[in-house]
């Protein structure tokens, strides 16, 4: 398992990520003492539809002022959004050392480090006491985790009674072969896709009950179609997912878009309650 985790971490690794973001801000003549969340939003929300879908998740429950854990937090964009707009005290955990270093630095850059905490760690061994958080959420995380039972059991363990689990995930829909690379995996050996009904079983076993589920697939397809038009016309943006995925960005996104359109994969969001 350690070797798998290292391989997955290496898939996401971009050395000097924070420094690259700073360089891109300077290229846009954005003063470093006046950087806003919107200036970095194209990069710090590593999931389909970015900040828009994070806002949808936040508004799916009464999240104002709650204590939130983001499992697989990436660069911490959702944590900063929740802290800034909803007065939440947020904690993010991610397998990637470089993501956590960058997340912490970005929070300091936009003056949200007092409400956000970032920890490097394993999602199947959460370093928190039982019943610590009012809300746990994940966005495009479980695809890298083979032990789904442990993953969702840990989420339930750290949730308070009557707490909420919010998710936005890429799931299998049909049995067709998946082409790689994908944004979350360069090869099939690092990808552990499963179906929504399987996820529901794991969550039910962990003591969580579904309140609602929303099909986000068409919204994701529309987002990608518009993105591809912009890329063709203007090239890669200064602050976009290309900062995280580099030269393979277009290939990875096109593979995901193709499978969403042909039905092998789907996007779903939803709410569970403990």
**What are the tens digits of pLDDT across the range 40-58?**
999 999 999 999 999 999 9
CA–CA gap between residue 123 and residue 145 (Å, rounded): 8
211 neighbors 272 (Cβ within 8 angstroms): yes
CA–CA gap between residue 196 and residue 56 (Å, rounded): 19
Range of the domain at 97: 2-273
The answer on pLDDT for 1 being more than 70 is: no
CA–CA gap between residue 183 and residue 185 (Å, rounded): 6
Nearest to 192 by CA among 147, 249, 252, 251: 147
Residue 23: CA count within 13 A, CB half-sphere:
6
Nearest to 53 by CA among 220, 181, 206: 220
19 — phi, psi (to 5°)? -65, -35
Q: How confident is the model at residue 206 (pLDDT cuts 50, 70, 90)?
A: very high
pLDDT at position 85? 97
Beta-strand runs (E) in 72-189: 89-94, 116-120, 133-139, 159-172
Strands 265-273 and 209-215: antiparallel
Give me 133's structure tokens. Answer: 């958080």
Domain total in the chain: 1
Task: List beta partners, residue 168.
Answer: 139, 269
Whole-model pTM: value is 0.95
Among the residue ranges 119-128, 153-162, 237-246, the one predicted with the least confidence is 237-246
CA–CA gap between residue 132 and residue 135 (Å, rounded): 9
The answer on pLDDT for 75 being more than 80 is: yes
Give me 249's structure tokens. Answer: 């960005």
195 neighbors 165 (Cβ within 8 angstroms): no
Kindly tell me the burial class for residue 83, based on how many C-beta atoms sit within 10 Å of its own C-beta (0-12, 13-18, 19 or more): buried
Which CATH number goes with the domain that contains 195? 3.40.50.150
Q: Cis ω on the peptide bond leading into residue 167 (within 30° of 0)?
A: no
CA–CA gap between residue 187 and residue 95 (Å, rounded): 18
pLDDT tens per residue, range 208-261: 999 999 999 999 999 999 988 988 888 888 888 888 888 888 899 999 999 999
């Amino acid at each position: 398992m350690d070797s798998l985790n290292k391989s997955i971490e290496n898939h996401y690794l971009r050395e000097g990520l924070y420094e690259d973001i700073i360089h891109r801000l300077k290229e846009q003549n954005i003063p470093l003492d006046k950087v806003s969340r919107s200036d970095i939003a194209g990069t710090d929300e590593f999931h389909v539809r970015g900040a828009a879908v994070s806002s949808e998740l936040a508004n799916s429950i009464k999240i104002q002022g709650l204590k939130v854990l983001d499992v697989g937090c990436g660069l911490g964009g959702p944590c900063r959004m929740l802290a800034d707009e909803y007065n939440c005290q947020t904690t993010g955990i991610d397998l990637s050392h470089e993501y956590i270093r960058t997340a912490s630095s970005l929070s300091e850059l936009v003056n949200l480090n007092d409400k956000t905490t970032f920890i490097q760690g394993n999602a199947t061994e959460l370093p928190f006491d039982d019943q610590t958080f009012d809300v746990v959420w994940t966005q495009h995380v479980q695809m890298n985790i083979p032990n789904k039972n442990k993953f969702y059991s840990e989420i339930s363990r750290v949730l308070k009674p009557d707490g909420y689990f919010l998710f936005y995930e890429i799931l299998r829909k049909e049995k067709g072969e998946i082409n790689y690379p994908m944004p979350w995996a360069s090869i099939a050996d690092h990808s552990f896709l499963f179906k929504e009904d399987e996820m529901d079983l794991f969550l039910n076993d962990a003591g969580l009950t579904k309140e609602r589920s929303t099909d986000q697939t068409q919204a994701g397809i529309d987002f990608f179609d518009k993105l591809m038009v912009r890329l063709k016309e203007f090239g890669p943006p200064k602050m976009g997912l290309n900062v995280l995925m580099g030269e393979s960005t277009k290939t990875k996104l096109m593979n995901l878009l193709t499978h969403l359109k042909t039905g092998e994969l789907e996007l779903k969001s939803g709410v569970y309650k403990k």
